[in-house]
Amino acid sequence: MDLQLAGRRALITGGSRGIGLAAAETLAQEGVDLVLAARDPAVLDAAAQRVRARRQVAVETIAADLSRQVEVERLAAAAGRIDILVNNAGAIPPGNLLAVDDATWRAAWDLKVFGFISLTRLIYPALRAAGGGVVVNVIGAAGESFDPNYIAGSAGNASLMAFTRALGRASHADNIRVVGINPGPVTTARMEMLQRRRAQERLGDAARWRELLATMPFGRAATPEEIGAAVAFLASPRSGYTSGTILTINGGG
């Protein structure tokens, strides 16, 4: 299916690996030029080279620490014209109320919760001035399926869900769509880290983490490519009447 995205330009945070890179590759396949942002310049460059080797699109990289407001502002200024913003950066650590201290909680929210909100606030006026655009927030299913052992992530994701729905209720006036995706478990390096921790707690052996996937729907976690395809579809005119909506992708579990 032609998603009618050719010639558009997307900024993807957390674009150097995992879901962000998968979204970049799918958008590139549709002819979208890319600006990839992440912290590590070397990993960003490798990701950009991977995309360029497969698709004839322009791929720029901007190394930035989006937990710092000054870096968010620098990214927004450096990105130039954007049609699609994909907020994806941020990994909130696991732990219950007493395990996650204030400094860890605040640092995680600075990157993910306030990072999403601040970058959207900075990019939104440019989208409006250009006649419209799309914001896709890759959030996380813990925002609707609350996990006491992932309390900072559950609370942060729930906040971003509310942000997405609230903004999406009004953004149509500016011809801007705001949508979200709540992935369940996805086979990324971060998912493996979390599963290893759980395997150590439950089975006494972190190396047995794959055994924890057997009870998931279809006996597996989602792939980054499956989430990336959803990002591209929601960002496209094929989904042009979708706003203020959050798509949960968890296999039905």
The whole-angstrom separation of Cα 99 and Cα 102 is 10
What pLDDT is recorded for position 24? 98
What pLDDT is recorded for position 68? 96
Confidence of residue 197 (pLDDT cuts 50, 70, 90): confident
Q: How many structural domains are present in the chain? A: 1
The whole-angstrom separation of Cα 150 and Cα 221 is 18
Assigned domain for 61 exists: yes
Assigned domain for 253 exists: no
Residue type, 242: T
CB atoms within 10 A of CB 177: 25
Assigned domain for 2 exists: no
Mean pLDDT computed over 26-35? 98
- pLDDT tens figures, 61-117: 999 999 999 999 999 999 999 999 999 998 899 899 999 999 999 999 999 999 999
Assigned domain for 118 exists: yes
The mean of the pLDDT values for the chain is 95
Q: What is the extent of the structural domain holding 133?
A: 9-186+222-246
**Contact status, residue 120 vs residue 133, Cβ threshold 8 Å:** no
**Residue 113's CATH number:** 3.40.50.720
- The active-site residue out of 105, 124, 150, 209 is 150
Burial class (CB in 10 A: 0-12, 13-18, 19+), 97: exposed
Half-sphere exposure (Cβ direction) of 88: Cα atoms closer than 13 Å: 30
Active site residue 150: yes
Residue type, 201: E
Assigned domain for 13 exists: yes
Burial class (CB in 10 A: 0-12, 13-18, 19+), 126: middle
Looking up tokens 């674009």 gives 15
